[in-house]
Structure 1
Amino acid sequence: MLSIIIPTLNEEEYLPSLLTEIKNQGFKGYEIIVADADSEDDTVKIAKRFGCKVTKGGLPPKGRNEGAKIASGDLFLFIDADAVSLPVRFLKDLVEKFKSRNLNVASFPIYPQGKIIDNIFYWLYNLWAKLSQSFLPYATNVILVEKEIHQAIKGFDEKVKFAEDHDYVKRAKKYGKFGFINIGPVLVSARRFEKDGRLITYLRYILAGFWMLFLGSIKSDIFQYRFDYSLKIKNKIGYNTNTMYKLPKIKFPTIKLPKLKSGKVKLLKPVKSEFIKFSKKQSFSFLVLMILTSSVFGFLAGAISGSYFYWEIKDFFGRSNIEITRPLKNEEEQSLYTFQEQAIVNVVKKVSPAVVSIIVTKDLPVLEQYYIS
C-alpha cells in the first residue's frame, strides 16, 4: 500500500488541486494523510472532504514524521501541498520503476509553474541530482521511501531548518539504495520566487548546496524561509514567518593542547578531514555543474543590470520632464560618420568646392596657386 503524506499550513488555495490530481490518477491501493500545522483557513475541511486522514503536524519535517506515524502503507510518498500538477500515470510509474530498480529511497524531477528562467534553473538542479545520485544524493520535495528505511533513520531530522529533504535521503542512503527516477516532472507553484524574489531564492539554494556539501546539515536559521507564505502571521507552532536571514553564531572547534612532560614530546594526532573526496569522474560532473550554474547567473546578472539601467533612464526622463524627440535631419546625417569624419565634413561644407577638389586630387601646385591668387 502507498501512503501519500502531505504537510500543510494554510493551503486551501493549492491543496484541492493536488488532491484532485491524485484522485484522477486511477491508481489503486493508496491513502492520503494530511499533517496540518493548525491552519487558520479551510485546509482541514478540504482534506476531510476528500477523504484524507488528518493528523496534527508542524513544520515540514515534523509534519512528515507525524503523518508517517499513522500511515498504513509499506511505501511512503512525501509531497508538498503546492504540487499543482502530476504527470499522467505518475503514481503507477513511480512505484513500478522504484521496484524494478530495486530502490529503497528515491526522488523525482520537479519544475516550477513559472517563467523560463525558473525552468532553466530547475533543469540544472534536476540534472545535478541525476548525475550525483550514486555518490551524493540530492532530493526534490517529492520523495518515495520504504517504511523500514524511514523507521531505521528515525524519520526527518526536526532540528534541520533548511533542505531537510536532502538530509533525509543522505541518511537513508546509508541503509539502502537511492535513485533519481526520471519520469514526467511534477509541476509546483512558483510562489516562493514571487514572494522572496528570484535572485535571492536562487542564491539561497546555491549557497545552501555548498553549505551541505562542505559543512553538513543546516541546523541554523541562516537560510530560513516561510512555510505558508503569509505575510503577517506568527502561527501556533511558534514559527515566526517574518523572521528571515538570521546569521547564525558560528562555533569554531577548540583544540586542547596536551600537557608536556619534561624529556618527552607528545605530538598531536592528525584530525581526519570531513571534506568529501571525489573521484575524477565525480569532480568533472561537479565542475560541469558549476560552469552551467555560473553561466545562468551571469545571464541573470546581465538581464537584471540591463533592466535596472533602462528603469533609471526612464525614471530620469519621467522626473525631469524632458521630452524625448526624434533627432533632427542634420543629426541623422551626422550619425553616418565617425567623430573624425564629421570634423572633415563640417570643414568641407564651409569652404569653396575648388578647395575640396584640390584636396581630394592632392594637386598641391594648384592649391598653392589658389591661395596666391
Structure 2
Amino acid sequence: MAMTAPLLSVIIPALNEAENLPRLLEDLHILRAVGAELILVDGGSHDGSAQQSVTAVDQILTTAPGRARQMNAGASLASGRYLWFLHADTRVPARACQRLLEVLGEQPAWGRFDVQLSGAGPSLRLIGNMISLRSRLTGIASGDQGIFVARSVFAELGGYAELPLMEDLELSRRLKRLARPRCLWPPLVTSSRRWEQHGIWRTVLLMWRLRLAYYCGASPEKLARQYYGGPPS
C-alpha cells in the first residue's frame, strides 16, 4: 500500500550549531508528532551538530557548506507537499506551528512569519518589528522569517539560486511574481547574537548597505566578502 506524502517537510541547514539545534528540534517535536518530516542538512560541522540530532530528525544529509546549497539538497530529499526552511538558531512557538498547519490547509503558494530577536531591550524589539513591517510592505522575506513554499512551486522555480548571500531575497522576488506571501503570526524568534556581538546599529547599517547594494546590482560574491568580514551568518 502506498504511503501518503506528509503535508510538511522542515529543512534545517546547519553549520556548528550544537548549542542551538536541540532547542529548535524540541520546538518542532509537535510537528513531527503529527507527521511532519524533519530534514537536517549539515554543512560539515565539527561540533557534533549532526550526531546529537540523529533521534530528533527523520533524515540527516551532509553537504559542502553554503546555506542555499544545503537547503536545495534538503529539498531534493523532501517528500512533503510543503517545504519549510528554518535557520538552526530559530525558536518556534507552539502556536506558530499550529498556525502554519492551519494556513497550509488553505494551500497558499508561499509565505513567511513575522520575526522577533531573542535579546532583551527596546532596540532589539524595534529591529524585529521593523523587519516584519518591511516584509509585510514589500512582500520580500529573509531566511530568518521561516520561508515556507509549496514543493511544486519551489521545483518549478528551480529552488534557491546557489548564491553566497541574498539567496533568500532572490527567491522571494521570484515567488512574489507568482503571489504575495502569506504573512503569519505569532513571530518566530531568531538569535540576536550577531547584533549583540558586533553592535546593534552597526549591524543594522551593514545589512541595509548590503541590501541596497544588492538591489543596485552588486554581485552577491562581493557582498558576501563584506558580510562575512562583519557579523557571522
Q: Residues 25 and 35 from structure 1, CA distance in 2 versus in 1: closer, same or farther, beyond 3 angstroms?
A: closer
* 2:131 counterpart residue number: 125
Is contact 2:9–2:37 with CA below 8 Å preserved after alignment? yes
- The number of aligned residues is 221
SS in 2 for 1:4: strand
Q: Structure 1 CA distance, aligned partners of 2:225 and 2:111?
A: 25
Q: Residues 180 and 117 from structure 1, CA distance in 2 versus in 1: closer, same or farther, beyond 3 angstroms?
A: farther
**Which structure has the higher relative contact order (CA within 8 Å, separation 6+)?**
2
**What TM-score comes out, normalization by structure 1 length?**
0.55
Amino acid across the alignment from 2:116: Y
Amino acid across the alignment from 1:206: W
* 2:168 counterpart residue number: 165
Q: Which has the larger radius of gyration?
A: 1
- Structure 1 unaligned residues grouped into runs of 5+: 227-242, 246-373
Q: Residues 221 and 27 from structure 1, CA distance in 2 versus in 1: closer, same or farther, beyond 3 angstroms?
A: farther
Is contact 2:9–2:78 with CA below 8 Å preserved after alignment? yes
* 2:48 counterpart residue number: 42
Is contact 1:103–1:178 with CA below 8 Å preserved after alignment? no
* 1:370 counterpart residue number: none
* 1:82 counterpart residue number: 89
Q: Structure 1 CA distance, aligned partners of 2:226 and 2:81?
A: 32
- Structure 2 unaligned residues grouped into runs of 5+: 1-5
1:182 CA displacement: 2.9
Say if 2:24 is the partner of 1:33.
no
Within a 5 Å distance, the mapping from 1:227-266 to structure 2 comes to 244=229
1:45 CA displacement: 1.2
Is contact 1:162–1:219 with CA below 8 Å preserved after alignment? yes
**Alignment deviations for residues 292-312 of structure 1 (CA, whole Å, 9 cap, x no partner):** xxxxxxxxxxxxxxxxxxxxx
Q: Structure 2 CA distance, aligned partners of 1:204 and 1:161?
A: 16
* 2:23 counterpart residue number: 17
Q: Residues 6 and 55 from structure 1, CA distance in 2 versus in 1: closer, same or farther, beyond 3 angstroms?
A: same
SS in 1 for 2:87: coil
Q: Structure 2 CA distance, aligned partners of 1:162 and 1:200?
A: 19
SS in 2 for 1:221: helix
Amino acid across the alignment from 1:75: Y
Which segment drifts farther, 86-95 or 163-172? 86-95
Say if 2:101 is the partner of 1:116.
no
Is contact 1:113–1:187 with CA below 8 Å preserved after alignment? yes
* 2:142 counterpart residue number: 139
Provide the aligned C-alpha RMSD in A. Answer: 2.1
Is contact 1:105–1:169 with CA below 8 Å preserved after alignment? no
1:117 CA displacement: 0.5
Q: Structure 1 CA distance, aligned partners of 2:226 and 2:102?
A: 35
SS in 2 for 1:42: coil
* 1:221 counterpart residue number: 222
1:177 CA displacement: 1.8
1:223 CA displacement: 4.3
Is contact 1:162–1:224 with CA below 8 Å preserved after alignment? no
SS in 2 for 1:220: helix
Amino acid across the alignment from 1:183: W
Is contact 1:161–1:224 with CA below 8 Å preserved after alignment? no
1:22 CA displacement: 0.7
Q: Residues 194 and 30 from structure 1, CA distance in 2 versus in 1: closer, same or farther, beyond 3 angstroms?
A: same
